[in-house]
Amino acid sequence: MFDNLSDKLQRVFKNLRGEGKLSAANMEEALREIRVALLEADVHFKVVKQFIEQVKEKAMGEDVLTALSPTQQVVKIVRDEMTKMLGTHQSRLRFANEPPTVVMIVGLQGSGKTTSAAKLARFLTKEGSRPELVSVDVYRPAARHQLSILAKNVGTPIYEGTAEETKPLELARSARRDAMQTGRDLLLVDTAGRQHIDEQLMQELHELKQALNPTEILFVADAMTGQDAVRSADEFHKRLGITGVILTKMDGDARGGAALSIRSVTGQPLKFVGAGEKTDAFEAFHPDRVASRILGMGDMLSLIDKVQETIDQKTAEKMQEKLLGDEFTLEDFRDQIKQVRKLGSLGGLLKMMPQIGPLKDLKDTDIDEQKIDRVVAMIDSMTPKERRNHMLINGSRRRRIAKGSGTSVQDVNSLLKEYAQARKMMKSLTGPAGFLGKKLGKMKIPGLPGF
């Protein structure tokens, strides 16, 4: 459903990448395009305004990661803000201290309440819950029958009620008693819908709320109705107090505005999404995953995460200077080894970079942890002078270092050889004319040949 928005955002980032250096002017232009793309996706205008302001502020801010290229930084900021807009963390269903937990499912007519009740039952059963269903929609003759069929389909017990139980409140109370007696930990209450929010419906829902004391009141919003869904969610929240939203019909060709606005407008989290008529077309809502999907660039995003998690910005900067200069010492070598260890597999990192052709042979190089420990121990056993000038390390010094680090003279020899190679390779890779220097611009990686 986010295809259009996703295409447009990717075009913005592509254009930015073409610019080389980011200027205030092309940043301004990019923000303008992002704004238009969001509005065209039917995102609430206030949400768009706030979003753009946040992105702008962050982009101008001090705490940018210089380990990323300017475009990568913008992508990162947009991704982070979008995740925030969608709610940051996954919001799970809450359970009552005393079972059964009661969940009321409310919303406008045809939004997908009955279908979602059954889907939720199926989903939660898989997670280990023992739900029971009940329909209190006594107005539409086929409504309760519809839920019975779906309940059978997902294998969840349903409280059918007696012939005397004709009122929503009676049905709901009996269903809760039944759930308690049959050892069910969850009661999902499917309620009636109206075309518009009216007093009678609100009154009825209020009474149910009073009687059942539900842990969750989930508002079912039809994504296809865009901003109308957002408005009615907000209205239901003001009048009834909802605790979360199920967004249905995400499989349709809606533009995505509802999904992107509902959290900010109502203040209530999106908990689940429905994406199809079948009962298995239902999943928990993950803000970070959805934001990444909207932005599309999976590889670049994982790279950004990895870099952000592991590389200390200042060390990287200092390292870059050293690499470009002529003084890549054994101490730097050691620091780099430590960083590579933090990154996990160097092969994994390289794989995420585009067009890495000439470095292909490094791709599957896994890091040997023990070897890293040995190397670090050897360098630690050197004197500061030796670390700064490896030419000083003659035969007797090698023996001393081996002894001090619990390694052999051969180990010290091969370390010094690898260091010399690394020095050479670093210069050719990261110098202004080097492969990485050209390809990645400001992006810095700790390379480690030989591991």
Ligand X SMILES: Nc1nc2c(ncn2[C@@H]2O[C@H](COP(=O)(O)OP(=O)(O)OP(=O)(O)O)[C@@H](O)[C@H]2O)c(=O)[nH]1
**Site residues (CB under 6 A) for ligand X?**
107, 109-115, 137, 143, 193, 220, 248-249, 251-252, 274-277, 281
Q: Whole-angstrom distance between the N-terminal and C-terminal Cα of the chain?
A: 44
Q: Confirm if 74 and 13 have CB atoms less than 8 A apart.
A: yes
The CB-of-422 to ligand X minimum distance in angstroms stands at 55
CB closer to ligand X, 101 vs 114: 114
The CB-of-165 to Mg ion minimum distance in angstroms stands at 18
CB closer to Mg ion, 136 vs 426: 136
The three-state secondary structure class of 246 is strand
The three-state secondary structure class of 86 is coil
- Residue 138 DSSP code: -
CB closer to Mg ion, 114 vs 279: 114
Chosen from ligand X, Mg ion, none, partner binding at 69 (C-beta under 5 to 8 Å by type): none
CB closer to ligand X, 167 vs 306: 167
Chosen from Mg ion, ligand X, none, partner binding at 232 (C-beta under 5 to 8 Å by type): none
The CB-of-281 to Mg ion minimum distance in angstroms stands at 17
Q: Does residue 266 interact with Mg ion by CB under 5 A? A: no
CB closer to Mg ion, 87 vs 168: 168
Chosen from ligand X, Mg ion, none, partner binding at 111 (C-beta under 5 to 8 Å by type): ligand X
By Cβ distance, which residue is nearest to ligand X?
193
Q: Confirm if 244 and 218 have CB atoms less than 8 A apart.
A: yes
Chosen from ligand X, Mg ion, none, partner binding at 275 (C-beta under 5 to 8 Å by type): ligand X
| Helices within 267-383 (DSSP H only) | 287-295, 298-310, 313-324, 330-343, 346-351, 369-380
Chosen from Mg ion, ligand X, none, partner binding at 336 (C-beta under 5 to 8 Å by type): none
Residue 38's closest CA among 402, 46, 178, 118? 46
The CB-of-163 to ligand X minimum distance in angstroms stands at 22
Whole-angstrom Cα distance, residue 190 to residue 106? 7
CB closer to ligand X, 31 vs 136: 136
CA 360 centroid distance within chain: 30
Helices (H) and strands (E) in the chain, counts: 20, 8
The CB-of-147 to Mg ion minimum distance in angstroms stands at 7
The CB-of-209 to ligand X minimum distance in angstroms stands at 18
The CB-of-190 to Mg ion minimum distance in angstroms stands at 6
Whole-angstrom Cα distance, residue 237 to residue 140? 25
CB closer to ligand X, 281 vs 356: 281
> Which residues in 136-269 belong to E strands, given as ranges?
158-159, 186-190, 216-222, 244-248
Q: Which positions from 86 through 125 interact with Mg ion, judged by CB under 5 A?
A: 113-114
Count the Cβ atoms, other than its own, within 10 Å of residue 348. 16
Q: Which residues pair with 187 in a beta bridge?
A: 102, 132
Count the Cβ atoms, other than its own, within 10 Å of residue 231. 18
The CB-of-199 to ligand X minimum distance in angstroms stands at 17
> Could you give the count of Cα atoms lying within 13 Å of 296 in the half-sphere of its Cβ?
14
* Side chain identity at residue 75, one-letter code: V
CB closer to Mg ion, 150 vs 323: 150
Chosen from ligand X, Mg ion, none, partner binding at 251 (C-beta under 5 to 8 Å by type): ligand X
Return residues touching Mg ion (CB under 5 A): 113-114
